[in-house]
Chains A and B, each alone.
Chain A
Amino acid sequence: MAGRPPAHVGAVQGHQPIDAGTSALMTTPAPAAAHAQAADARQTIDIPMSGGIPYAVGQASVIRIPIPGTSGLAIELSPRGWTPKTGSTSTLFFQDVTGRRHLRLDYGPNPRTKTIDYHWNQERVFREFGISDHTPAGTAGRAAYQAARYFKYAGRVLVVAGVVVDAISIVQASKPLRRASQVVAGWAAAWAGCKLVGAGGAALATPTTPLGMAAVGVGGCIIGGIAGYAGGSMLAGEVYDWAEGTFFTPLPEAAAP
């Protein structure tokens, strides 16, 4: 019998030719086991995405990392006080909270070398660092200057990304309040971890150059921030679960004597 050639039907599990005597035949995939799908769904809910790592890495670009034993100096990537619209010509700062005492890695004309170079500018911190004003910073200084410059902006982007991811994770969580507690505790602990481990790193690196101090201080801040976020967020989850599972039973009323 001359009829229509077999067509292809079905887009689900490949195409099946229709035999000569059948007008339509469609195959469908066998249904998956119900328990497997449920397990997948539970996994999605239980492991929410987290902005912890980008947040903890990025915060190192905005936090003051204390340097123990220096009467209030801290590592920062931005100056204190007024800065021009075009930005500062310095990118790495070791400064007190006012900026009055500072050591900064600068790029510009250097009267000592009579060239435009990477050098240190400082006020009132010679005792702490042993570096006089306009000391050339060399090739390591150049690398640190550029690294600090880019990390300052990349870090801010990471902080925003981390906050956005955390906010989404709260919205998507099956228990938004629990997740929100974890996120807030994670941020707070990341801040504390950054300060603590960053300060420890800066203290360990004190006998080395300021560049070594900055590298170890910022590295410590990142590690402390990540650990702090993970720890704070886990602890907050535990506390939330404990509080949620705790019920208070009212005492039976007793007649007054």
Chain B
Amino acid sequence: MSGTSIFVCLDPRRSDWWQLGALPPATGRMMLIGWKKYPEPVDGGVPEDVASLLARAFTSIGRVTFLSSAAHAATGSGWWPLKRAPGPAELTSTTDPQTLMQTFDDAAHPWSMQGQVLLISAPAEAPPEIDRKQLRALLENEWGDAADALSAPGVIGVVRPGVDGDLAGLLTLTADAERASLAAFERVSRVASFDWSVLTEEAFAERYSG
């Protein structure tokens, strides 16, 4: 058996297992996004084809702003390097899936150690204005509470890596954003010929465990 499958779970409740903060979140709705490759890779981290699919899905929902240590790299069309003083946190905002691929392989903000956060906002708008305190709060365990204040600056969804970076949690702040996210993941999965399914939490855990 070979291939890649993408599976999601809406409204998960097992806070202790996914390491995505308190579930259900106080604001918005949580969606777990999981993946499985057969045969299973021996190395950890997000497989490249999965990272590519996630990047395409997130950028099709909207503009994605994320922590990046490569903000000084040559800028392409559609994204801006943003530096917010004081502190080392640098944000990059993009609608380009290729640029977003960095998020899964940035040593300074390691996805596999849950050191990354992605903010999704309307594609035609400027990147959301958030301060350093808000950004730091989004990296902590109870990040769902901090997400509450992000609607005002135009954030419609927040993505955090789950346990060991082997899954992602997408917190959508509007019902439209949840529908758009689900449709985007289904579309890109089918285009990539990946197996696609929406599962209950128990079935998700079973599939995640392989």
Chain A residues packing against B (C-beta within 8 Å): 79-86, 88, 90, 98-100, 106, 108-109, 111-112, 114, 116, 121-126, 132-134
The listed residue (A80, A109, A121) touching B107 by CB distance below 8 A is A80
Do A100 and B115 have beta carbons less than 8 Å apart? Answer: no
Known: A84-B140, A114-B209, A124-B43. A109 touches B113 (CB 8 A): no
Do A81 and B140 have beta carbons less than 8 Å apart? Answer: no
Do A99 and B43 have beta carbons less than 8 Å apart? Answer: no
CA distance A90 to B107 in the complex (A): 16
**From residue A84, how far is it (CB to closest CB) to chain B in Å?**
6
Interface string of B175-210 (1 = CB under 8 A from A): 000000000000000000000000000000100111
CA distance A80 to B166 in the complex (A): 19
Do B113 and A111 have beta carbons less than 8 Å apart? Answer: no
Interface of A (DSSP majority class): loop
CA distance A100 to B108 in the complex (A): 9
Do B115 and A121 have beta carbons less than 8 Å apart? Answer: no
Chain B residues with CB under 8 Å of A132's CB are: 42-43
For residue B19, CB closer than 8 A to chain A, the reply is: yes
For residue B45, CB closer than 8 A to chain A, the reply is: yes
**From residue A216, how far is it (CB to closest CB) to chain B in Å?**
25
Given A100-B110, A112-B210, A125-B43, 17 additional A-B pairs, CB 8 A = A80-B107, A81-B107, A82-B115, A83-B115, A84-B141, A85-B140, A86-B140, A108-B163, A108-B164, A109-B16, A109-B17, A109-B18, A121-B112, A123-B43, A124-B43, A126-B43, A133-B42
CA distance A100 to B165 in the complex (A): 13
Interface of B (DSSP majority class): loop
The listed residue (A80, A84, A98, A126) touching B114 by CB distance below 8 A is A84
Q: Which of A83, A98, A100, A109 has the most CB of B within 10 A?
A: A109
The listed residue (A100, A112, A116) touching B209 by CB distance below 8 A is A112
Could you jot down 22 A-B contacts, CB within 8 Å? A80-B110, A81-B113, A82-B113, A83-B113, A84-B114, A84-B140, A90-B113, A99-B107, A108-B163, A108-B164, A109-B17, A109-B18, A109-B19, A111-B208, A112-B209, A121-B164, A123-B44, A123-B45, A124-B43, A124-B45, A133-B42, A133-B43
**From residue B16, how far is it (CB to closest CB) to chain A in Å?**
8
Chain B residues with CB under 8 Å of A98's CB are: 107
Question: Chain B: interface residue count, which band?
Answer: 20 to 34
The listed residue (A82, A85, A121) touching B109 by CB distance below 8 A is A82
Known: A82-B139, A84-B139, A112-B209. A126 touches B42 (CB 8 A): yes
The listed residue (B109, B112, B210) touching A123 by CB distance below 8 A is B112
**From residue B87, how far is it (CB to closest CB) to chain A in Å?**
12
For residue B145, CB closer than 8 A to chain A, the reply is: no
Chain A residues with CB under 8 Å of B114's CB are: 84
CA distance A100 to B139 in the complex (A): 19
For residue B105, CB closer than 8 A to chain A, the reply is: yes
Within 8 A of A (CB), among B73-119: 105, 107-110, 112-115
